[in-house]
Structure formats: C-alpha cells, structure tokens
Structure 1
Amino acid sequence: MVLTIKAALNVGTIVFGAASSYCWVRSASARVPHAHASGDGMFHDGTIAVDGADLVGSLKLQAKWNTRAAICAAVATGFQVLGACIPEGTDPG
C-alpha cells in the first residue's frame, strides 16, 4: 500500500489532532496533591490548596500539558493546510 502525499498529510492531521485532544484531557484533569491539606486554604509555608491540591503545582502541570496540546494542534493544522495546498489530481504519490 502506497500513501499519496495528501493521504500522508491527512494521517498526520489525525494523529496530531488525537494527540492534542489527549494532552488537553490530561491538562483538564491535572492535579498535584498538597503535602498537608485536605481542603482549601493558605498555609504557613505560603502554599495554597484548592480541593486538597497544590494550586501552583497544579497550574504548572496544567501549563505543561496545555503547551504540548497547543504544539500538537499547530502541527495538525499545518498538515491540514499543506494538504489543502495540493490541487486535486496533481498528487505525485
């Protein structure tokens, strides 16, 4: 089975789109447990807990997954744009 260039770009779009979705789901559920909290509040060491999670740690973890998701989405979009630039019937693949 030989893939045309357009088909290969479509596969790349699907793969990176799925990876982006996965990363955003991970970001949405990212939580870093707080060392000594079970609820909300600010502690003597300057940390903040929300629902038992360390606020700053959780935000950093979410930012990491959001960055990965955005990069994957950008690559997927790039593949889609490149595929759209290939006129129908001219794909040499």
Structure 2
Amino acid sequence: MGNTLTFTLPAVLAAALADDDQAGTCDQTGCDTEIDLGPASRCGTGPDGSAASGCGQHFCSRHLWLDGDHLTPQPQQCEPCIDQNTLRKAA
C-alpha cells in the first residue's frame, strides 16, 4: 500500500552533506576559531554549493571573502586565492 520514493543526490550535494557534521579550526595561520568543515567554510565553494576555483581549505568568516562586484555570483575565497585571481585578471 505504501509508495516509496527514492532519489539520488547530485555528487556535489552529497559531498557537501557528508562534510556537514565535522568540526575543526580555521586554516588561516594563527587563527584558532572553531568552524564547521562543510561547504560554507570551504575556499572555492560557489554560490550554488558547487566546487569552483580555490584552494579547498576551510576558513572562518573573518578569513573567507566574496570577491567581485556583488552583482555577479562569485565563489567565496581566502585572501591568497583572491590575490592570485586579481593578478591573473590584471595580466
């Protein structure tokens, strides 16, 4: 009588959910802020949760930035990755 609905999560979402319950500290040298090691703290995570350009390390909100003009969705990145992208754009 009961109907069963099954579905498969996209790989990006499944990986993001698998990370969600892990705790750790910010990867910025000298920072010991406790953070969740999920996609919200990962350098290079795009606005839709997808993997974009970045180093993949995890940072607290003080050390993770959104680069761009705030009109175009950009991946969140740490300062060294933003600096690298700025140098590439200037070249």
Q: Structure 1 length as normaliser, TM-score? A: 0.21
Q: Structure 2 length as normaliser, TM-score? A: 0.22
Larger RCO: 1 or 2 (CA < 8 Å, sep 6+)? 1
More helix by share: 1
Find the structure with the greater CA-based Rg.
Answer: 1
